[in-house]
Structure 1
Amino acid sequence: MSQTVPETIRTSATAGERILFHTLKHYLDDDYIVYYEPDINGYRPDFVIIGPYLGLLVLEVKDYTINSLHRLTKDEWIINSSSSGLLTEKSPLKQAREYMFKIQNTLKKDVSLVHHEGRYQAKLKFPCGYGAVFTRLTQEQCIRTDLYEVIDPVFLLTRDEIDPDKDQFSEEVLIEKLLNMFQIPFRLKEPLTLEEINRIRYHLFPEVRIGKGLEQPTPYRDQLLLSLHDLGTMDIHQEKLAKQIGDKNRLIRGVAGSGKTLILASRARIIKQKHPDWNILILCYNISLSRTIESLVRHKMSEPTDLFDAARTDRNVMEGISVRNFHEWLRNDLRIKEENLPTILDKLEKGETILPKYDAVMIDEGQDFEPEWLKLIGLLLNKDTYSMLLVEDRAQNIYRRKRSYLQDTGLDFRGRSKILQINYRNTTQIVNFAWEFFQTFSETSKIVAGSLEGQEIIPPQNTKRKGPEPLIIKAESWLAEVREVALKMKELHEQKNVPYEEMLVLYRVKRTHKIGVVDTIQQTFKEMDIPSTWITESFASKRAYKKDDGTAKISTIDSSKGMDFQAVFMLNVDNMPFALEKDEKREVALMYIGMTRAIEYLTISYSAESKFTRYFDEIRNKNSQLKQLRHVHK
């Protein structure tokens, strides 16, 4: 079964389009991608098929009947329309051919997709084909009316060739015809790689881009970019979600690292392109995350429609889009104090006060929102659009909110929800390490795969991307611990080429009755020439947060939600569970959040004892025993 984008065809599609859609979905192999009516730089072919051994194929679909065909040439068709009379149209095959040439010209600009020498120099490495599909005509009718004199049968599919309910249908014939719809047919000796397919998708479908442009990767990101799931391009499942979320309320529940925030940013771009006049609000809980989301959305909105067009740099790129953390929005945009919320909600429901309305609202980390907050947002959502996207991960629920979305927002998400179980951000080693910790200290009875009801937590699934095992440092003193971490950071920077701006240092509290946690970190980094920024020093520093400034970041675990860094260091873990925190589950969630910020390198350090460090001691002992066994066998 092929991957289709969108996953289901629109209800207004013709009967013939629906038949072809389902046939391509069920009879092509798993590694084929079928796009229905994609928007490619402003033009919309009916179907685009990408396959590792096929190449790229464009299909134009028509529901003509015998009676509707008036006069035909190879270039121009006069169609007898029951509603509009005689209409002159471009030949469907010519239309498909023009779409194909436009796609070819776009892809040829990518040096990675063309030959660099020989007889095919400057031509694409893979074939591009085109064809027409007549969903209401049979082969017999085409022969009887001499239609094949106008269109070569090699480039034409008829109803009996695409409809599995017809006796003449043959899966083998269908595949053979698709493989032969090429002017210069040649079989690929080697299939298109995943990277090449992703590059094709990157150029043709800009909304799937979630990171920086395709560029020569620096050494420390080689493994990341060449992995099974490239963080520079959304995977097929995420692309479906971003495109198919719909115009009404939707809920996405996903594990850490599953791309929830990236889907939200892509969705913002898609909505703004469809509805330029809409007022869009994007909310989250913490300030640092709001700056991250704003930067991501701004990048998406500035991105050129075609990779080779100039990017938008005007100040109005974010016009009509507000990105706020909840309290900033409440205080600055609505001019409301949180203690007055009950009164405001009552007045809104009675129609006694007026506040700004939003055509679309997107909420990141929705598990952190209080019921009253969600109720306020629901009341300010345009009732004509009801466009709300809410994403959450209950494993990261550090504020223990209880909710009923129907009661809190007035919106029913049942049947309008999606689950993302695959963690793409972290390596297999980090995912397993973090999840085993979470399961050890959490209520495993509430961990249920595939459920959207109640307060269940979704277990993550791994990609095949590998990396080093998380490092556990047990030091003799707090000062020795910080120095060991600093040495590890310098080692990664000098030997693995990891920029300091891709390093995140996490702490639970800035000082205890014994030590000044942040003071020691900052002083040690200064002595060892490690540039750093304490992003959670104040409200001002949180608002000014910028990742790519050349410095390592120092942050509370709470404020790291939604972030990801190549290397993450969790220090002073012996201070967890924090003595003054009554809810140990919150401490478990915080540890899990901190661990899953790491893309490739994770370090846990401590210099005293706690419930959590005893767990990490056991892991250290097991790892030490395994090393000794390997040494003996050698």
Structure 2
Amino acid sequence: MPARKFALPGAGDSRWQGVPMDSSPQRIVMPRLEALPHLRSAASPGLEEVVRFFHARLPLAWEIYVRPHFNGLSPDVVLLNPEVGLAVYRLVEYPIWEGGYAFRRDSPGSPLTLYVQDEAGAVPVINPFAALRSTRENVAELYIPTVRREWGSVGFGAVTAGLIFPYASEEEVTRFCADAAFQPHRYAPAVSREALARERVHRVFPESGRSRSKLMSETAAAELRAWLREPEYRAAQRQPLVFDPVQKPLVSTRTRSGLRRIRGAAGTGKTHVIAGRAAHLEAQGRRVLVLTFNNALIRYIRDLVDRARAPYCRDERVTVLGFHAWCKLICEQAGFTESYRALWRHHKPDEQRTEEGRQVALKHVCDEELPRLTERALETLDRLGGHRHTGYDALLVDEGQDWSPHWWHVARRAIRNGGEFILAADATQDLYGRAESWTDEAMSGAGFRGKWSELYTCHRLPGDYLPFVSEFASRVLSHKEGDQIPGTRPLQLHAPTQMRWRQVPGGRVPQYGALAVAELEPVAREDPAAYSDVVVVVPTRSLGVELVTHLEHLGINTVHTLQQDSRAASAAKRGFSVGNNGVKVTTMHGMKGWEARYLVVCVEAAESEKVRRALYVALTRLKVSETGVCSYVAVVTSDPQLRQYGCDWPVFIDETGVAGSGASA
């Protein structure tokens, strides 16, 4: 079928030119209209025009939210009026001309599946009518519990859920609805391009003319805003990285030898410097390899590199990978695929081997055998004349305390002669026991001499929270040489950090952890944060799985890295990002290098130094808000040894019935 060209109705029309691109200060629009072209997934022309339409025609009391996460529903536009109700719209932008689509049942009794025609033939897509029904039911059932509780099924009257076809005629929309056996009505409109062009807001949104509804209230609106507000990370991703006077020369200059080692406590900006240096070298035409041990950190570093790049610079000369993923890549490119696969057969499930034995075998493969195989693969590539995955101009390693000196020597072989090398580390965050292998002799052998470049100023942690983290390090951790404790931070005005410590009975951490997330809802009434800004950190996969189950029972969507299969878990970590929609749940190891403004930390027993250091890492993930509003941290634990420290928190809640000092809720 030949391609059909579309012209957006009203685009370029004088009737639309009076609609300002900047949001009116009297209306809430999130994100702001001028930011729509700069979203991570840019708004289509059709979506921009629909938002302009509502912005120009609706009464000012209506709030507009563009592509909110909404706990995984992900509609295109949501309209909210605390006096009237809610409208959720999805755009249908694929062709629906006659012959361009078909509704079919793949098997008797199965739901209708929609197929649309493209160059490759008939392609299945989400049935918009099924999505519409699901959205309306989920909104009424889960996200405005006040309305549901007070009005029952009548509460559905507070919710409009519609489809907008910005490129389709009235005739095409009517036929499309009839083919799907869908009858549009007041609370489920199907909007054509003519309705938009005629500027008839009552046709697009019938409930827009209502000034008040007994079904809706400010309380219900507050419940919804917690899901609708743009997460802070999304706004931050549109802002360039800013570096302090100590960080700037590390980003913009090279040492005489080309080698530099950077250390600093949590939150001092080591990863920001790595990203900034990578972008700076890329702008000079250099190829940069950024490696880290933590797979969950890859997407975060990529996002920071994007923010550090100069506007419109997208040369993509920066490669960001986990060390072991890079090793696999090198082995495959050198033709060592079978040898690579053979390594992993040693730790496959075996009835004759205990779980501890499998973990020992896995560690030996990761720490010793795979790096040695990668060295051989690099030698092969060198003999073949190099490859695009070697011959980089710079190697930048983040979370270097997680590396062994052997890994460093292997990765260095991918860099050209005269290249640049940076190692950023914090021994206090050593969770794998490898930092101690970096002796003075090992450092010298790696090419490092002289003093470290030091980062002292903590930019991440809120000023009123910083003393509690430092106190934890002093009182709870065993001191080791090279430990970096967060010190001062620049003067920055921000709302008081909400700190809550909950001491709970043994075995109840998952339930109370889910409660700590749910308790954010009243906090969000004063500071309407998105639940996508919430990160829950746990020490073990098993605890995390239990907690996710409790969150789902509360109707809270999650994104996690807790898959049982090691390969699936590794893939989930690589795809894990602050940009993921939903409350994020990950392990303390997986959270290294990350930051969050809403943080819930759950731990049952912290008896070993290893777990206590992991807990310290988790506590240092709290981020001060870039907009000056409050940050929130809650710790849920059943470990009695942590009780004395927790009693000193501003809010200490004792669920165990054991008397203790400290502030109470």
2:534 to 503, 514, 519: 503
Task: Establish whether residue 539 from structure 1 lines up as the match of residue 570 from structure 2.
Answer: yes
How much has 1:258 moved relative to structure 2?
0.8
Contact 1:269 1:297 survives alignment (8 Å): yes
What is the deviation of 1:369? 0.4
Q: Distance in 2 between matches of 1:483 and 1:370?
A: 37
**C-alpha distance in structure 2 between counterparts of 1:329 and 1:390, whole Å:** 17
Corresponding position of 1:599 = 623
Q: Which residue in 2 is equivalent to 1:576?
A: 606
Q: Which runs of 5+ in 2 are unaligned?
A: 1-21, 23-228, 341-365, 564-568, 625-630, 654-659
Question: Within 5 Å, which residues of 2 pair with 1:219-234?
Answer: 233-234=242-243
In 1: Cα distance, 2:432 partner to 2:590 partner: 13
User: How big is each residue's C-alpha offset from its partner over 1:227-271, in whole Å with a ceiling of 9 and x where there is no partner?
Assistant: xxx996322222232123447111111111111111111111111
- Aligned amino acid, residue 551 of structure 2: F
Work out which of the residue numbers 311, 317, 324 in structure 1 matches 2:321.
324
Aligned residue number for residue 162 of structure 1: none
Aligned partner of 1:462 in structure 2 is 489
Match of 2:132 in 1: none
Distance in 2 of aligned mates of 1:389 and 1:469: 37
Cα distance in 1 for partners of 2:374, 2:509 equals 49
Aligned partners of 1:353 and 1:245: how far apart in 2?
30
The SS at the match of 2:408 is: helix
1:501 CA displacement:
1.7
1:273–1:406 distance in 2 versus 1, CA, 3 Å: farther
For 2:393 and 2:599, locate their aligned partners in 1 and report how far apart those are by CA, in whole Å.
38
| Shift in CA distance, 521/342, structure 1 to aligned 2, threshold 3 Å | closer
Please give the alpha-carbon distance, in whole angstroms, between the structure 1 residues aligned to 2:510 and 2:452. 48
How many residues align? The count is 374
Q: Distance in 2 between matches of 1:487 and 1:348?
A: 51
Tell me, in whole angstroms, the C-alpha distance in 1 between the residues paired with 2:497 and 2:274: 30
How far apart are the structure 1 equivalents of 2:445 and 2:415? 10
SS in 1 for 2:417: coil
- Give 5+ residue unaligned stretches, structure 1: 1-110, 112-217, 305-310, 447-454, 512-516, 578-583
How far apart are 1:292 and its partner, in Å?
1.1
Instruction: Quote the sequence identity (%).
Output: 20
Partner of 2:293: 285
User: What is the 5 A alignment of 1:149-160?
Assistant: none
Deviation of 1:542 after TM superposition, in Å, equals 1.6
Match of 1:586 among 590, 610, 616: 610
- How far 1:280 moved relative to its partner? 1.4
Counterpart in 2 of 1:395? 428
The answer to whether the Cα contact below 8 Å between 1:219 and 1:497 also exists between their aligned partners in 2 is no
The reply on whether 1:341 has 2:355 as its aligned counterpart is no
Pick one of 250, 274, 278 that aligns with 1:268.
Answer: 278
Match of 1:434 among 469, 472, 483: 469
TM-score (norm 2): 0.50
Which of 462, 473, 478 is 2:502 aligned to? 473
What residue is the counterpart of 2:519 in the other structure?
488
- CA drift of 1:562 comes to 1.1
Distance 1:540 1:509 in 2: 18
- Separation in 2, partners of 1:231, 1:461: 24
Task: Pick the aligned partner of 2:590 from 545, 559, 572.
Answer: 559
User: TM-score by structure 1 length?
Assistant: 0.53
Q: Which digits, 9 at most, give the CA deviation of each residue in 1:55-76, with x for residues without a partner? A: xxxxxxxxxxxxxxxxxxxxxx
* Equivalent-residue separation in structure 2 for 1:413 and 1:475 (angstroms): 47
Is the CA contact 2:265–2:426 (under 8 Å) kept in the aligned structure 1?
Answer: yes
Amino acid corresponding to residue 475 of structure 1 in structure 2: V
CA distance in 2, matches of 1:483, 1:350: 52
Query: Following the alignment from structure 2 to structure 1, what is the Cα–Cα distance between the partners of residues 524 and 553?
Result: 16
Please report how far the alpha carbon of residue 342 of structure 1 lies from its aligned counterpart in structure 2 after TM superposition. Answer: 3.8
Question: Secondary structure of the equivalent of 1:382?
Answer: strand
Is 1:380 the equivalent of 2:414? yes
Name the CA shift for 1:464/1:568 in 2 (closer, same or farther; >3 Å): same
| C-alpha deviation, 1:566, in angstroms | 0.8
Distance between the aligned counterparts of 1:331 and 1:377, measured in 2? 12
1 or 2 for the larger relative contact order (CA 8 Å, sep ≥6)?
A: 2
Counterpart Cα distance in 2 of 1:231 and 1:471: 32
With over 3 angstroms needed to count, the CA separation of the structure-2 counterparts of 1:443 and 1:509, relative to structure 1, is closer
Deviations 1:341-397 (A, max 9, x none): 346648979999666232110000111001210111223322223x01111111111
Is the Cα–Cα contact under 8 Å of residues 406 and 413 in structure 1 kept in the other structure?
no
Residue 417 (str. 1) matches residue 452 (str. 2): yes
1:562 is paired with a residue whose SS is coil
Alignment check: 8 A CA contact 2:461 2:623 kept: yes
1:520 to 1:411, Cα distance in 2 relative to 1, 3 A:
closer
- Answer whether contact 1:252 1:260 (CA < 8 A) is retained: yes
Give the CA deviation at 1:410: 4.2
Q: Distance in 2 between matches of 1:327 and 1:507?
A: 24
Q: Does 1:609 align with 2:617?
A: no
Q: Which amino acid aligns with 2:417?
A: K
AA of the residue aligned to 2:536: V
Call closer, same or farther: CA 1:292–1:457 in 2, change over 3 Å.
Answer: same
- Counterpart amino acid of residue 525 in structure 2: E
Change (3 A) 1:231 1:556: farther
User: Amino acid of the residue matched to residue 415 of structure 1?
Assistant: G
SS in 2 for 1:429: coil
C-alpha deviation, 1:559, in angstroms: 0.6
Give the C-alpha shift of residue 474 in structure 1. 2.2
Structure 2: how far apart are the matches of 1:491 and 1:297? 35
Determine the C-alpha separation between the residues in 2 that align with 1:563 and 1:236. 23
Separation in 1, partners of 2:466, 2:548: 29
* 1:126-150 alpha-carbon deviations (Å, 9 max, x no partner): xxxxxxxxxxxxxxxxxxxxxxxxx
Question: Which letter maps to 1:234?
Answer: F
2:465 counterpart SS class: helix
Question: Do the aligned residues in 1 keep the contact of 2:401 with 2:425 (CA within 8 Å)?
Answer: yes
How big is the shift at 1:607?
A: 5.3
Letter in 1 for 2:247: Q
Cα distance, 1:412–1:591 mapped onto 2, change above 3 Å: same
Any conservation in 2 of the 1:405–1:412 contact (CA below 8 Å)?
A: no
Indicate the SS of the match to 1:269.
Answer: helix
**Conservation of the 8 A alpha-carbon contact between 1:378 and 1:409:** no
Residue number in structure 2 paired with 1:167 = none
Separation in 2 of the partners of 1:550 and 1:541? 14
Aligned-partner SS, 1:281: strand
What SS does the corresponding residue of 2:247 show, helix, strand or coil? helix
Residues 215-236 of structure 1 show CA distances to partners (whole Å, capped at 9, x for unaligned) of xxx99979x99xxxx9963222
Q: 2:375, 2:410 within 8 Å by CA — same for their partners in 1?
A: yes
Residue 529 (structure 1) aligns with: 555
- Contact kept, 8 Å, 1:220 with 1:496, in 2: the verdict is no
Q: Is the 8 A contact 1:256 1:393 kept in 2?
A: yes
1:64-143 matches, within 5 Å, as none
Q: Does the 8 Å CA contact 1:438/1:588 hold for their aligned counterparts? A: no
The root-mean-square deviation of aligned C-alpha atoms, in Å, is 3.6
Which residue number in structure 1 is paired with residue 188 of structure 2?
Answer: none
